[in-house]
Amino acid sequence: MRKNIKLFKSIIFLLILLLTSSKAELTNKVIISVGNEIITNYDLSREIQYLNVITLGRVKKLNDQELRKIAVDSLIKDKIKITALANYENIIVNDEVIDNQIIQSTRNIGFRNIQDFKTYLEFEKYEFDEFKKKILLELKWNQLVFQFYKNQIIINKEKIDKKLKTLIAQQKKIKEYLVYEIFIEDVAIKKLNKKSKEVSTENIIVVEKQDGIIIETESAYYNNENKLINTKKSIEEVTHVKTNNQITIDDLIKNIKENGFENTAIRYSSSATANQGGKLGWINEAKFSQLLLKFIKKTKIGTITEPIPIPGGILILKVENKRSVENKIDLDKEMNQLVEIEKNKQLNNFSKNYFNQVKNNTKIEYLND
């Protein structure tokens, strides 16, 4: 009896093993061979997931047939590169280069830092090591192409010099403003009552989408490029009733006249520049939004702008001084950049040509699904 039970258990175990093995083979079935490399159903599913990651889900809009074709083509390219690299084991990419490329790639996708990207990968159920492996493959391939063709890169100095002369000709003087700021948060706004006079169009502040409210400087407290005022607000709409932690605009202006702009900034400004008396420093006019530049340009040197309602509060700027400076170009830096651009352009062409050579010498066989 015991022998029969043992035999029965052995048969059940073998059946389970066979079924599991069959299921695994079905899941990981070879669908394409690329030279000595193979592509399985599992590879295809991971490649689709990779495409989903780097496009932030945009590939999901494609139908299954289109998505499958893109994934298959991508896998074949990878396998062809792996085949070529197999003969050159001496190609090594150091960790610093890999890390820098990962940072650049994640930024191109739309992430501020690696940790945010890793959190996203975890949510999408895609391993960071898989992504890193993709990056490493491309770096090795680029290094291989560079080794083969670096001596064939030809830099046309005459062409580069011509581009530099064009850049120099485009140099012009630009204006800079020495600016101080006072930013008061959470200023109460009230609607004009019906008896109020109509506000002149000169006092109406409208923030258009292409402008935004932005000062591009490290010391500026605010950067509301995406927080726009969508309705018209006038200076007269600012309340003149004090609350516990606020100051009226009238009292603020009065304080500036009596105690000076810097002292008022130290006392009342919510900006990070408050401790420096609101000093933003010399700022290139290109760093201001068109809206703020309009106010600055019509403000006399040594005086202040009218209060500017912006998202989150009221901004007052003091235009302490202005100057014109040469927009000088670092010729060496520009030269190096132009040379690098030309090198990369030629290497891209060499890369395409070499890839096609390897592909033409690689047998690609599509197996029955």
DSSP 254-290: HHHHHH-HHHHHHHH--STTGGGTTEEEEEEGGGB-H
Alpha helices in the chain (DSSP H): 2-27, 41-54, 64-85, 95-109, 114-124, 128-149, 157-169, 249-259, 261-268, 290-297, 331-360
d(CA 42, CA 48): 10
115 pLDDT band, cuts 50/70/90, is: very high
The pLDDT of residue 369: 53
Cross-strand bridge partners of residue 223: 214
Structure-token pair, residue 179: 């600016």
141 CB-near residues (< 8 Å, 6+ apart):
81, 84, 85, 351
Percent of the chain with pLDDT over 90: 40
Question: Domain coordinates of the chain in residue numbers?
Answer: 24-152+346-366, 157-169+329-342, 173-193+203-326
CB 263 within 8 A of CB 277: yes
| pTM attached to this predicted model | 0.54
CATH fold for domain 173-193+203-326: Chitinase A; domain 3 (3.10.50)
User: Which segment of 40-54, 208-222, 241-255, 352-366 scores lowest on mean pLDDT?
Assistant: 208-222
User: Which segment of 30-44, 157-171, 198-212, 242-256 scores lowest on mean pLDDT?
Assistant: 198-212
More confident of the two residues 111 and 246: 111
344: left (phi over 0), alpha (psi -120 to 50) or beta: alpha
CB 280 within 8 A of CB 215: yes
299 CB-near residues (< 8 Å, 6+ apart):
305, 317, 319
What CATH number has the domain spanning 24-152+346-366? 1.10.4030.10
Structure-token pair, residue 361: 């010498």
The pLDDT of residue 238: 37
In 3D space, the residue among 73, 316, 353 whose CA is nearest the CA of residue 182 turns out to be 316
pLDDT at 161 > cutoff 50: yes
Percent of the chain with pLDDT over 70: 75
